Amino acid sequence: MQITEQAKLHLLTLVNRISPKPIGFRFDGSVGTCRASVPILKPVSQPPPDYLPLSSGEIMFFIPKNYEEVFKTATLDYETGLFARGLNMTWPHREGGCPNCNQH
């Protein structure tokens, strides 16, 4: 996974505000499509069972197995501003459909 500098700073800021400090984020899916999604991330203090660990620099994610291929090619970004999307995730569309869209 590629994480932009803005997204990394945002997630590290969140981690440092939480007490006790979490070990990473559990990915519980996203809202949107492969072209623009809002990831559902929850801080965790221990690895959740049946989730795969995925490190991207200083940030640790725990993802469901069906998102493993998506995460390998995904980009996580953070946009600020009046009409910005905040934390968002994109990935290349998959042949046969994506986990979040009905396009085949």
Structural domains for the chain:
2-17+24-90 (2.60.300.12)
Residues 79 and 89: beta-carbon distance below 8 Å: no
Q: Return the pLDDT at 7.
A: 93
Looking at this protein, which amino acid is placed at residue 38? V
* Predicted confidence pLDDT, tens digits, the chain (104 residues): 899 999 999 999 988 898 888 999 999 988 877 777 889 999 999 999 999 999 888 899 999 988 888 888 889 999 887 666 789 988 887 665 566 665 43
| Total residues belonging to the chain | 104
Alpha helices in 18-85 (DSSP H): 68-73
Concatenating the DSSP letter of every residue in 8-43 gives HHHHHHHHHHSSSPPSEEEEEEEEEETTEEEEEEEE
Reported pTM: 0.82
